[in-house]
Structure 1
Amino acid sequence: MASIPSEQPNWALQISPYMWAAGLNGDISPFRRGPTIGVEKSFSDVLDNLNFGGFVNVWGRYGRFVFSGDIMYVDTTDSHGVGPLPPFRLPGGIVLPAGTRGDATVDTKQFTATLQGGYRVVDRPGFTLDALAGARFWHISNDVMLTLGLGGSSVTRSYGESFGWVDPVVGARAFFPVTEKLSLQAQVDIGGFDAGSKLTWSALATVNYTFSDRVSASAGYKVLDVHYDRGGHVYDARLSGPVLGMTYRF
């Protein structure tokens, strides 16, 4: 995740796969106009439910023009009790009365990609600053199995649904060499502005250590926050936790 110092050649490209020990906190509706579920999970809770997760950061520069990309994919399966629920209609036409309780298993796949381009507004040996603008793409898919008590018996229904949106974002990225091998980096962005979500923002700060001209390691902390409530879908969530990554430079 560490940028190339300004004294490097006129072009640069690097790829940084990383691990993100993120916890989750927020309110989520797994399907359109369904009940909104409050979620508060530590990283260990998320890890228990994790089927697969992948994270990669890409950064490039040509002269003063820069590119930043961050891609994440997470697949989780979560089972928990639900209720008492407000009255609502299940797929298939069954109307559940208020106070219904039951169990739910939710298989969630989330893909998020933040792509930004920009310009290096400050380019000094001891400090660089990039101004960025672009978009954050979201796609969330939920497969839900509900088993609900209904009049002394139970009813089970399975339902799959996906939704997505695009948020415009603006941001900045700063890089501070501390020594020849040690550096600090910070990147922030904010967006949404009711074009997709009401608001989204992210922040990443890392300490970086360079092993060679091509390889470095980074450790830090990342937060990704979004407030989406549109068309009966709710995804109001914050993911936050430490990150650990390796960077390979071309």
Structure 2
Amino acid sequence: MKEYILACAFSLCVPQILHAADSATAAPETSAASASDGALQITPYLWATGVTGKVSPFGVGPTVNIDRSFSEGRDGLNIAGFVNVWGRHDRFVLSADMMYTDTSDENTYGFPGTSQLPAFEAAGTLNTRQFMATVQGGYRVVDTPAFTLDALAGIRLWHISNEITASGLGRSVRYDESFGWIDPVVGARVFFNLTDRLSVQAQADIGGFDVNSDLTWSFLSTANYTLSEHLSFSAGYKIVDTDYEKDGHVYDTRLSGPVVGITYRF
């Protein structure tokens, strides 16, 4: 419910910002040729994400299948959002992306038997909190007033916290466990200025390469509208896909859904 309240407040604020900025024009990003001293911007996003895949709540437990679209988010999405920080000095660029999601999934889980207890199924709730941070540095390989292309490389850090509560055979089971890992990633970012106010951008990366994850990749594309010299509004779509299986932990998921954000340029 939190994310829907925030989204409503967000939508009420935007018209006021548009009215205040009706005579301002500023490109959401300038090329190195026109601003060689650099630029810095920060963009918080709300993310109506769905999730599909499978996870193991804890190392010795069963693998749980998850399949929920973003339209069903009100039933299990507690909060989801991320913040992107983008900086440039001449042709050198820096991208930092921090994401947090909190989801709940109600299902029937199968628990393996022990010498004292046979295998059994139980109805329960799985709560998963996920933190991801991606930091990449790079170089602007194409730089024109209408189009830029940046090559990137860096690392992605994951931290997963699972808590499962289930009841069956006259007993209740509760367990929680956390684990994390770091993956190398390489990527690229493209930016098109369409008009003085309107632009589109896309950023993608891929990594893992069996260092920890078998594979991880992400994609973000947005359309951006300039509100003032320092502010612009963005709307688009984001996907984060990760296939991790190590030490009994399974985290093979795809998070995807629409995003909205406000960029502030310093």
TM-score (norm 1): 0.89
Aligned with residue 156 of structure 1, among 166, 172, 175:
172
Give unmatched runs, 5+ long, in structure 2.
Answer: 1-26
Structure number having the greater helix percentage: 2
What does residue range 96-107 of structure 1 map to in structure 2 within 5 Å? 96-97=118-119, 100-107=120-127
CA separation in 2, counterparts of 1:202 and 1:132? Answer: 13
CA separation in 2, counterparts of 1:75 and 1:241? Answer: 15
Give unmatched runs, 5+ long, in structure 1.
Answer: none
Answer whether contact 2:36 2:89 (CA < 8 A) is retained.
no
CA separation in 1, counterparts of 2:264 and 2:36? Answer: 16
Give the C-alpha shift of residue 46 in structure 1.
Answer: 2.9
Give the C-alpha shift of residue 94 in structure 1.
Answer: 5.0
The aligned amino acid for 1:81 is: T
Give the C-alpha shift of residue 88 in structure 1.
Answer: 4.3
Pick closer, same or farther for the CA change 1:45–1:96 going to 2, 3 Å: farther
Count of residue pairs brought into register by the alignment: 238
Give the C-alpha shift of residue 233 in structure 1.
Answer: 0.4
Answer whether contact 1:24 1:46 (CA < 8 A) is retained.
no
Answer whether contact 1:187 1:203 (CA < 8 A) is retained.
yes
CA separation in 1, counterparts of 2:216 and 2:59? Answer: 21
CA separation in 2, counterparts of 1:229 and 1:96? Answer: 26
- SS of residue matched to 1:47: helix
Q: 1:66 corresponds to which residue? A: 93
Structure number having the greater strand percentage: 1
Q: 1:4 corresponds to which residue? A: 29
Aligned with residue 175 of structure 1, among 191, 198, 201:
191
Give the C-alpha shift of residue 95 in structure 1.
Answer: 4.1
CA separation in 2, counterparts of 1:56 and 1:19? Answer: 9
Aligned with residue 134 of structure 1, among 148, 154, 172:
154
Give the C-alpha shift of residue 129 in structure 1.
Answer: 0.6
Give the C-alpha shift of residue 76 in structure 1.
Answer: 2.6
CA separation in 2, counterparts of 1:88 and 1:44? Answer: 36
1:175-212 Cα shifts (integer Å, max 9, x gaps): 11111111110111000001110000011111111111
CA separation in 2, counterparts of 1:147 and 1:197? Answer: 32
Answer whether contact 1:88 1:96 (CA < 8 A) is retained.
yes
1:32-69 Cα shifts (integer Å, max 9, x gaps): 13111111001133332233333111101111111111
What does residue range 69-218 of structure 1 map to in structure 2 within 5 Å? 69-83=96-110, 87-89=112-114, 95-97=117-119, 100-149=120-169, 154-218=170-234
TM-score (norm 2): 0.84
Give the C-alpha shift of residue 107 in structure 1.
Answer: 2.2
Answer with 28-37 or 46-55: which moved more. 46-55
Answer whether contact 2:57 2:176 (CA < 8 A) is retained.
no
The aligned amino acid for 2:248 is: G
What does residue range 14-93 of structure 1 map to in structure 2 within 5 Å? 14-83=41-110, 87-89=112-114
Identity %: 57
CA separation in 1, counterparts of 2:116 and 2:48? Answer: 40
* Aligned-CA RMSD value: 1.7
Q: 1:226 corresponds to which residue? A: 242
Give the C-alpha shift of residue 125 in structure 1.
Answer: 1.3
Give the C-alpha shift of residue 156 in structure 1.
Answer: 1.4
CA separation in 2, counterparts of 1:159 and 1:229? Answer: 20
CA separation in 2, counterparts of 1:235 and 1:181? Answer: 41
The aligned amino acid for 1:182 is: L
Answer whether contact 1:34 1:88 (CA < 8 A) is retained.
no
CA separation in 1, counterparts of 2:113 and 2:73? Answer: 28
Answer whether contact 2:49 2:80 (CA < 8 A) is retained.
no
- SS of residue matched to 1:19: strand
- SS of residue matched to 1:81: strand
Answer whether contact 2:100 2:130 (CA < 8 A) is retained.
yes
CA separation in 2, counterparts of 1:63 and 1:103? Answer: 57
Answer whether contact 2:48 2:80 (CA < 8 A) is retained.
no
The aligned amino acid for 2:30 is: P
